[in-house]
Amino acid sequence: MSTFKYIDLFSGCGGLSLGLHNSNWKGVFAIEKNDDAFKTLEYNLIKKKKHFDWPEWLPQNAHDINEVLNNYELELKKLRGQINLVAGGPPCQGFSMAGRRNESDERNDLINSYIKFVELVQPNLIFFENVKGFTMEFKKNKEKGIAYSELVLNNLRSLGYIVQGKLVNFSEFGVPQKRTRFILVGMKKSLPKASQEAVNNFFQELENNKFKFLKNKNLNFVNTVEDAISDLLQSNGLVDSIDSPSFKSSKYGLSKSKYQKYSRKNIKSDIPDSHRFAKHQGSTVAKFKNILELTENRRNLDISNEIRERYNIKKHTIIPLCGNNCSPTITTLPDDYIHYKEPRILTVREYARLQSFPDWYQFQGKYTTGGKLRTKEVPRYSQIGNAIPPLFAEQAGIVLKNLLL
């Protein structure tokens, strides 16, 4: 196979697929349940980049993985021998340390769907990503005391794969965010070059390649919040938002860092996509302003109890960001963070920058949602908060190809 072909499961808005596209992989199809997240992937990677050779038997729209497994088992089996890689990670909310870990969360069962998919297609390689909590044992599951990561490793071994899993911090690969994730790589035992050493080497190769990779991109090895978003300030001058006329956006400022130049490559517009400022009440702006002053020497941490009491804040998490450091892990909740310099939450575009999405990547669907709809809807902030940073995915894509050469 001269072309490296992959399938992206639980693809979300396409962060992993974008990284694989940039490392010269070719997508066959992507499976994503949510319409809005799929629309973002479709708009950027199917329509703009023509990245997927989508099969005729699968409608080109949002799909639940179990629906695909149930309706297209024969077609999936016919792909055996044609697919180099099955990539992606099931939704992480049930394992996440950011919310309440819930071992009965039905989304955790999607891991079994993932394994069933691998069993049907039998790709040469597997690349699996999930939250750090995935490596921690649940107390009540059937295999009490065993982490889900161990169960997945054991299941994949029984399917004939040599596997290795490790925690990886994406900030060490140029992403301006401290985001540690469980990465699992698997290689089919029957491949000529298959060995435990080759699979273990994936992580060492990632480490070895990152300096050359980032240098070739003209990027620093460490990128801070300021490096990422200081050209997107409200103080650049307010204009009407492109897609929400009743909201304000701002024009681009001067590119002040290598990271900003990288993010804005080939951008012709004066106004960034998805850069809509929240409509904060005057009292909220004043409160945020005070919090930024009070936390000048204590950033990237949740606000203190003293500040909570002073402003009667009940919210679970509020983190004022630090400009001269990487951001903490961004979640799907934009209200969790205060901009490092301006008394406001981040825009969708600033979120996207912290996840290493380039500015040409345009997000589709609602900006935010709330209440019970959070479990069903995936607005723009959530799409980004759930994504694999494309800058890391590209580096992974290069090393995965090397496993097959």
Per-residue pLDDT of the chain (405 residues; tens, 9 = 90+): 469 999 999 999 999 999 999 999 999 999 999 999 999 999 999 999 999 999 999 999 999 999 999 999 999 999 999 999 999 888 755 444 444 434 444 545 788 899 999 999 999 999 999 988 887 765 554 544 567 788 889 999 999 999 999 999 999 999 999 999 999 999 999 999 999 999 999 999 999 999 999 999 999 999 999 999 999 999 999 999 999 989 999 999 999 999 999 999 999 999 999 999 999 999 999 999 999 999 999 999 999 999 999 999 999 899 999 999 999 999 999 999 999 999 999 999 999 999 999 999 999 999 987 777 766 677 999 999 999 999 999 999 999 999 999
Mark whether 381 and 393 lie in a shared domain: no
Mark whether 52 and 179 lie in a shared domain: yes
Mark whether 128 and 269 lie in a shared domain: no
Mark whether 166 and 296 lie in a shared domain: no
Distance CA 244, CA 133 (A): 37
Mark whether 170 and 115 lie in a shared domain: yes
Mark whether 237 and 274 lie in a shared domain: yes
Mark whether 174 and 299 lie in a shared domain: no
Mark whether 165 and 256 lie in a shared domain: no
Mark whether 237 and 137 lie in a shared domain: no
**The pLDDT value given to residue 98:** 44
**The pLDDT value given to residue 145:** 52
- Residue 255 in contact with residue 230, Cβ under 8 Å? no
Q: Give the domain CATH number at 253.
A: 3.90.120
- Residue 130 in contact with residue 95, Cβ under 8 Å? yes
What is the model's pTM?
A: 0.94
Distance CA 84, CA 140 (A): 36
**The pLDDT value given to residue 163:** 96
**The pLDDT value given to residue 372:** 72
Mark whether 27 and 41 lie in a shared domain: yes
Q: Across the chain, which distance is largest between two alpha carbons, in Å?
A: 65
Task: Return the C-alpha torsion angle 311, 317, 323, 325, nearest 10.
Answer: 140
What domain count does the chain have? 2
User: Residue 377 CB: number of other CB atoms within 10 A?
Assistant: 18
**The pLDDT value given to residue 106:** 55
Which H/E stretch holds residue 388?
A: none
Closest by Cα among 271, 288, 270 to 346: 288
Mark whether 85 and 203 lie in a shared domain: yes
Distance CA 333, CA 322 (A): 18
Residues in the chain: 405
User: Residue 235 CB: number of other CB atoms within 10 A?
Assistant: 9
Contacts of range 341-344, beta carbons closer than 8 Å, 24 or more positions apart? 341/230, 341/233, 341/292, 342/233, 342/234, 342/235, 343/280, 343/285, 343/286, 343/287, 343/288, 343/289, 343/291, 343/292, 344/234, 344/277, 344/278, 344/280, 344/285, 344/288
Q: Give the domain CATH number at 9.
A: 3.40.50.150
The partner residues of 248 in beta bridges, in order of sequence, read 240
Domain housing 271: 225-385
DSSP 142: T
Mark whether 202 and 293 lie in a shared domain: no
**The pLDDT value given to residue 97:** 45
CA-based angle 118:121:2, to the nearest 5? 115
CA of 96: how far to CAs of 12, 37, 101, 267, in Å? 17, 20, 6, 35
Angle, helices 196-216 vs 390-404, to 10°: value is 130
